[in-house]
Amino acid sequence: MDPQLPLTGWQMSVREIKRSAVLNESVSMHMYQVDAFTDRLFARNPAAVLVLDEWLPDDLMLAITQENNLAETAFVKARSDGAWDLRWFAPAHEVNFCGHATLATAHVLLTETNAEAPLVFHTRVGALRVTQGPHGYRLDIPRLPPEPLETLPAEIARVFDNPPVGIFRNFENIFADLGSADAVRSFVPDLASIARLGSVGLVVTGQEADNGRAHFVSRYFAPGAGIPEDPVTGSIHATLVPYWVERLGRERLMAYQASARGGWLDCELTEDRVFLVGNAVTFMKATVSLPNGAV
């Protein structure tokens, strides 16, 4: 961000935060909470978003995330080239990849600031892009092909009543194809065993019946990151979409994440990218009050 430009009402300089700490003053910051992959409130996946001009200390960003007690809190700051740097934190640690909090961040920037689409976010998994279309935001994420596994990790070898019909992984999650959408919906997770995977999560997936609206369904568990079950997860579809495109022989798919809040994702695969379409709704604009010495 150009240091000559004034901060908006929803940004606060780390310099100002540190100045307040030196002067023994309390500090206030503003934060949004957004429901992602939905066009109505109280549905799909909530995320918090803070727009910064400089990074806060990592331990403070983690503390804010833990206080929110949401699956992810996103922290974003502008770059001099017109793009944005984006980081995501789960309650247990910083995460490498998050789709719904990226969508939430784009929604905040496009509706509450002077930012314009397309937006480019620089992240741990490379550049992510968000554009606007007639059916919502279009999220452009990397294609992460499924890496076949011969056996399940020992930590989760006994969490399935019946052996999965396929197992694979990417850099951050284990995936198990349970053979049907009904098996996914009825799956009872052993969260204590899954938590032993540490930062690695478990995705279960299955093909929907022929008369279903979705082509495939999924659920995602990451208790090691502080997320027992995620409502709607964009990032796992970077691998689910290539898997199901190969299985079903079509490049456009409708996916459903069968959590308690549920969520639909319109998915498209290209040679090296996955595109997800969804909406977002702002639920809350909050003031974060940091006590003296927090920074």
Catalytic residue numbers read: 72
What sign for the dihedral angle of Cα 142, 31, 294, 3? positive
Element (H, E) at 216: strand 216-222
Q: What is the spatial distance between Cα 190 and Cα 209, in angstroms, rounded to a whole number?
A: 26
Examine residue 118 and say whether the peptide bond preceding it is cis (omega within 30 degrees of 0): yes
Which long-range contacts does 56-65 make (Cβ < 8 Å, 24+ apart)? 56/14, 56/17, 56/295, 57/295, 58/94, 60/290, 60/294, 60/295, 61/87, 61/89, 61/94, 62/89, 62/93, 62/94, 63/294, 64/31, 64/89, 64/288, 65/89, 65/90, 65/91
Q: What is the spatial distance between Cα 72 and Cα 123, in angstroms, rounded to a whole number?
A: 15
Extract the tokens encoding 294: 């927090």
Residues 6+ apart with CB under 8 A from 182: 206, 209
